[in-house]
């Protein structure tokens, strides 16, 4: 069965510093997609970044980059130059394998940015 693991329930980072949020995934299929979402306290889920399993380069979107290590089944999110508005829950998600019509989510990591 496919599974997403996020081992950091809570993280703290100083404003303007970089932070890495961990995500590991489990699938036996070679074709899959990985996503990161941000959920502020308002509850809405905001799409941040996408990485396809066949993409040769790590995905980047502004201050967000995805450190994709396929052999280790790792897709860590790196946020550079943290801002107070980055304080939120962050979810790693995957679409693929035997369940390409579904997107499954990890348990999330709560990030707090300290001024």
Partner 1 sequence: DGGITQSPKYLFRKEGQNVTLSCEQNLNHDAMYWYRQDPGQGLRLIYYSQIVNDFQKGDIAEGYSVSREKKESFPLTVTSAQKNPTAFYLCASSIELSSGELFFGEGSRLTVL
Q: Which stretches of the chain bind partner 1, using CB under 8 A?
A: 4, 33, 35, 37, 42-47, 50, 91, 93, 95, 100-108
| Listed residue (56, 77, 75) closest to 11, CA to CA | 77
What are residue 70's phi and psi, to 5 degrees?
A: -60, -45
Comparison of 16 and 102: residue with beta carbon closer to partner 1: 102
Rounded to the nearest whole angstrom, what is the least distance from the CB of residue 56 to partner 1 in the complex? 19
Rounded to the nearest whole angstrom, what is the least distance from the CB of residue 88 to partner 1 in the complex? 14
Q: Residue 79 in 3-state DSSP?
A: strand
Q: Cα dist. 84→59, 61, 95, 113 in Å?
A: 23, 18, 30, 5
Rounded to the nearest whole angstrom, what is the least distance from the CB of residue 82 to partner 1 in the complex? 22
Rounded to the nearest whole angstrom, what is the least distance from the CB of residue 23 to partner 1 in the complex? 12
Comparison of 13 and 93: residue with beta carbon closer to partner 1: 93
The separation between CA 71 and the C-alpha centre of its own chain, rounded to angstroms, equals 17
Comparison of 12 and 47: residue with beta carbon closer to partner 1: 47
């Amino acid at each position: 069965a496919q599974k997403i693991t996020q081992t950091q329930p809570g993280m703290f980072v100083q404003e303007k510093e970089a932070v890495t949020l961990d995500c590991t995934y489990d699938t036996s299929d070679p074709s899959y997609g990985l996503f990161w979402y941000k959920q502020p306290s308002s509850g809405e889920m905001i799409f941040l970044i996408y990485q396809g399993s066949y993409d040769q380069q790590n995905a980047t979107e502004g201050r967000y980059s995805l450190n994709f290590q396929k052999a280790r089944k790792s897709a860590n999110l790196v946020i550079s130059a943290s801002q107070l508005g980055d304080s939120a829950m962050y979810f790693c998600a995957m679409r693929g394998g035997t369940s390409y019509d579904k997107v499954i989510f990890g348990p999330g990591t709560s990030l707090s940015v300290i001024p």
